[in-house]
Amino acid sequence: MSRVRYGRITRRFFRVWHRNLTVYRKIWKVVFLPPLLEPLLYLAAFGVGLSVLIGTVHYEQKEVSYISFIAPALIAVNIMYNGFFENTYASFVRLYYQKTFDAMMATPLCLEEIMTGEIVWAASKAVVATAIMQGVISLFGLIHYPESLLILPLAFVGGIAFGSIGLFFTGTVRAIEMFNLPIFLFITPMFLFGGTFFPLDNLPAWAQKFAMVFPLTHLVILARSLAFGSLSLVLLWHLAYLLLFSAVFFALALLAMHRHLIE
Amino acid sequence: MEYLMKAEGVTKAFGDFVAVNDVSFHVRPQECFGILGPNGAGKTSIIRMTYGFSPLTQGSLTVFGLSIVKDWRKIKSRIGVCQQENNLDPDLTVQENLAVFARYFNLPKKEADKQAKKLLAFMALEHRRNDKVTKLSGGMMRRLVLARSLVNDPDLLILDEPTTGLDPQSRHQVWEKLDELKSQGITILITTHYMDEASRLCDRLVIMDHGEILVEGAPSDLIRKHVGQEVIEVGVPSRELRTYLGSQDMTYEDLGHRLIVYGDKGDELFHKITDDYCEESCVLRMASLEDVFLKLTGRGLRE
């Protein structure tokens, strides 16, 4: 009873997911706006502004326009944000202020199912946000189809990875302000150095290796390869890393939440 | 089934601190069983163990003849829990709060809607159906929490301080609803530190302190046994009165500025005391559960 048991997880976790969907549907008009408008802002700023300075980027033995280089990275960053922020700030509010999980614990749900529902919800939200954003970016002809259809399931995997680590922090921190720390130490460095706005090759060798620890680096490589329509076996390695990262932090998230909630 | 719920030697320790120490009690079907105690007595810890939120350190707990360790899901699907805090879902409306909660019990949508409608009518909340819960008054929120705990038609209703913080009108309304539920045959396990609430609702109860059960019984039996039928309160007692009481075979409590005399021969004694030892500030009243409670748990402040 007093430890995490994965065997208890049944399809009931879907009820928790459904609760979040019910709330989401009430505010969808607001939630839809960022993924719809953000890529337009970025593409305008980078496409109109920076592109002129940069021109093309040398990537995987090819010259590509800067704007098509960063477009898939923007999608990957969006996946990261959706997964991470849903399972940090939003989950924290449900945990601390609304006591939603306490109420759920008095029903046939168990802690493992509640947390699985939270993480799968964050991943689902990432998929929806990706679909909207990808739709906008596709209008500019920056994405190669049909390969890029795989970005949607990729968004789910990325959402699980970043949702899990987000929920791990939620179970660990004791005040909502403390999320600044993982954002500053983890999210922002990835956003800047995860192969997003410039190729990893531009970094010194040691930094290139270090960047491979970041889950976003792998997510960006996968999204970019799909967007360019250049599939290769090496992508499986990046996918494997993301899955492993997800599994480790899923377990750690459940453990942290168990420690936090079960007394 | 003779007992609906059985706690045997239940112990809960948080590190070195023992919150509940070797507690045993049995709840019969269709009764209202109360757990009374000052703050920190271990009431909520027991409640949290009964619905599997908190694992037992030692002992055993069975509900409906099932073990909470093995059959927690079966038990949890047949109980309703009204937690101390109003943890309603502020993102949802009144009606949605019930409907979403019903889903956690795997109720199909149609049945959940029917159940929500029925419970809103029962709790007189129909007119606020589409309001956000944050707009409700304290009493209404409490009724909604109670309605929510009934969404699965539970066989056992667990209430953790259900009327704390409510105004008298709302408290009486909650009690009436609980009376109605009781008459429908539901079993209730309730914690409270309101003695009037316990006297009014409970068929049997235990008084706890420091994680242990001090006494168990029906409220009226406990009053008779521990304080007698009547109580005389004397404000500003004189030395003569103290000497007199000391010479008699009486149970009394000396609070310094105030004396509390327990006894069955209250009427006679009252006249004796008022005539001989004080002119005013003497009160004769019926003994209550509060007297029992204070006598057993002491008058010192907690926490």
Distance from the Cα of A140 to chain B's closest Cα (Å) equals: 37
The rounded distance, in Å, linking the Cα atoms of B285 and B276 is 19
Tell me if B53 and A15 make a contact (CB, 8 A cut-off). Answer: no
Q: Using CA coordinates, name the residue in chain A closest to B69.
A: A1
Q: What average pLDDT does range A189-205 have in this prediction?
A: 92
| Predicted pLDDT at A30 | 79
Cα B80 to its chain centre, rounded Å, is 16
Distance from the Cα of B73 to chain A's closest Cα (Å) equals: 5
Residue that has been written with the tokens 């029962």 in this structure:
B122
Higher pLDDT residue, A24 or B302? A24
Tell me if B83 and A103 make a contact (CB, 8 A cut-off). Answer: yes
Label residue A1 by pLDDT band (50, 70, 90).
very low
Tokens of B67: 């073990």
Q: What average pLDDT does range A22-45 have in this prediction?
A: 83
| Predicted pLDDT at B25 | 96
Alpha helices by DSSP H, listed for B82-137, are 94-104, 109-122
| Predicted pLDDT at B183 | 92
**Intervals of chain B under pLDDT 70:** 1, 265-267, 279-280, 302-303
Tell me if A108 and B104 make a contact (CB, 8 A cut-off). Answer: yes
* Region of residue A229 (phi > 0: left; psi between -120 and 50: alpha; otherwise: beta): left
Q: Is there a contact between A146 and A46 (Cβ–Cβ < 8 Å)?
A: no
A15 touches chain B (CB under 8 A): yes
| Predicted pLDDT at A36 | 78
Higher pLDDT residue, A150 or B281? A150
Q: Please, which residues 89-118 of chain B have a Cβ atom closer than 8 Å to chain A?
A: 89-92, 96, 100-101, 103-106
Tell me if A15 and B106 make a contact (CB, 8 A cut-off). Answer: yes
Q: How many CB atoms lie within 10 A of CB A160?
A: 25
The rounded distance, in Å, linking the Cα atoms of A196 and A187 is 12
Flag whether the pTM goes above 0.80: yes
Q: Using CA coordinates, name the residue in chain B closest to A16.
A: B104
CATH of domain B5-223: 3.40.50.300
Q: What average pLDDT does range A48-69 have in this prediction?
A: 85
% chain A with pLDDT above 70: 99
